[in-house]
Amino acid sequence: MNDVFKPRVIIQKLNVFYEGRHVLKDVTVNIPENQITAIIGPSGCGKTTLLKSLNRLVDLADGVRFSGKVLVDGANIFDNGTDITEIRKRMGLISQTPNPLPMSIYDNVAYGPRIHGTKNKEELNQIVKQCLQAAGLWNEVKNRLGEPASKLSIGQQQRLCLARALAVKPEVLLCDEPTSALDPVSAEHIETQLATLKKDYTIVFVTHILRQAKRIADYVIFLYLGEVIEQGKAETFFTKPKDPRTQAYIEGKSITRTEV
């Protein structure tokens, strides 16, 4: 457990507008390296938007405007000249509902490396195996890699999406409520994998399940109505929150009654 906080991603005054609606307001946070950061908050408060800003998937929506900076290794990902596909390669994303590509299990994992130029069969085989192992899926599918991914159970599909994301060797893993569509057993699987993966990756996940955040997060960010209300190390966050709104949220009370 390292106490040294080295920021992997620095977000400075990020503002995102969807067709006039101000979804993220002056968000300024640092995401620590090789730790699991949880973004918590009530639904609709911009958590997914924040996550999708980090890999610029937010660009795909209509009528989006943004201002501010997101710095990775000193470079702003929103700069005009940046190669978006490179950024997305470095930021892996796992969505809320598993979205396997319409291909075989093998091809799903190999898709990423292939589009970035890896052609060698041996290399691809290696990558597929390693990633499926890292996702905790290898043993269940090693004999049926050619089967369509759609045949897997939903929990397995999500682990496949994890493997797929790992295959492009990202530095940061972004997870949007990765277990909310899963049964408890599969959910636990994913949580265990994430906990193991943090040694090699920086993980950011969005959740509305406080217990999940308490279980695996090292660092927590509380987002409410598009603003960062509080952020801090997990231990102190849940035991001694500074803001009354955070306190209210953690206790499950309605926030509006405790305006500062």
Partner 1 sequence: MLVVTIFSGLIVFGMAFALFYKAWPILSTHPIGELLLSSSWRPTRGEFGLYPFIMGTLWVTILAMVLATPLCLLTSVYLAEYAPSRVRGIIKPMIDLLAGIPSVVYGMWGVLLVVPLIRDYVAPLVGATTTGYSVLAGGIVLAIMVFPIIISVSEEVIRAVPHEIREASFALGATKWQTVKHVVLRSSFPGIIAATILGFSRAFGETMAVLMVVGNVSKAPSSLFAPAYPLPALIANNYGEMLSVPLYDSALLLSALILLLVVLFFNVMARIVLSKIKKGFAIG
Partner 2 sequence: MDKRKLEENFFKGLMMASTFIVVGSLFAVFAVVVWKGAPALNLSMITQTPKGGYYLGKEGGILNAIVGSLYLAGEATALAFVLSLPIALYLHEYAGNKMASFIRLSLDVSAGVPSIVYGAVCFTIMLSLRMRASLLWGIITVALFILPIMTRAMDEVVSMVPFKLKEASYALGATKLETMLKVVSKQALPGILTAVLLAFGRGIGDAASVLFTAGFTDSIPVSLFDPAATLPLAVFFQLGTPTPEVQQRAYASGVILLILVLSFSVASRLLTRKFSKFVVR
Question: The tokens of 167 are what?
Answer: 């295959």
Nearest approach, Cβ of residue 82 and partner 2 (Å) = 12
Is 126 one of the binding residues for partner 1 (CB under 8 A)?
no
Site for partner 2 in 107-136 (CB under 8 A): 115
Beta carbons of 105 and 146 less than 8 angstroms apart: yes
Nearest approach, Cβ of residue 161 and partner 1 (Å) = 7
- Binding region for partner 1 (CB under 8 A) out of 74-82, 88-96, 198-206, 237-245: 88-96
Alpha-helix runs per DSSP H in 116-153: 121-134, 138-141
Nearest approach, Cβ of residue 131 and partner 1 (Å) = 12
* Residue 181 contacts which entry, partner 2, partner 1, none (Cβ below 5-8 A, type-dependent): none
Is 238 one of the binding residues for partner 1 (CB under 8 A)?
no
| Site track 140-179 with partner 1 (rule: CB under 8 A), x = hit | ----------x----------x--xx--x-----------
Helix-strand-coil split of the chain, %, nearest 5: 40, 25, 35
DSSP 8-state class, residue 99? -
Q: Which of 103, 181, 195, 225 binds partner 1 (CB under 8 A)?
A: 103
Question: The tokens of 208 are what?
Answer: 């509305």
- What lies within 8 Å, CB to CB, of 178 at 6+ separation is 94, 96, 158, 162, 190, 194, 205
- Strand, coil or helix: what is 197? helix
* Cα dihedral sign, 30-36-41-43: positive
Q: Give the DSSP per-residue string, 34-49.
A: TSEEEEE-STTSSHHH
Give helix 154-166 / helix 121-134 axis angle, nearest 10°: 130
* Residue 50 contacts which entry, partner 2, partner 1, none (Cβ below 5-8 A, type-dependent): none
Q: Which of 28, 85, 150, 236 binds partner 2 (CB under 8 A)?
A: 85
Q: Binding residues for partner 1, how many (CB under 8 A)?
A: 26
Binding site residues, partner 2, CB under 8 A: 83, 85-86, 115
Binding site residues, partner 1, CB under 8 A: 55, 57, 60, 85-89, 92-93, 95, 97, 99-103, 111-112, 115-116, 150, 161, 164-165, 168
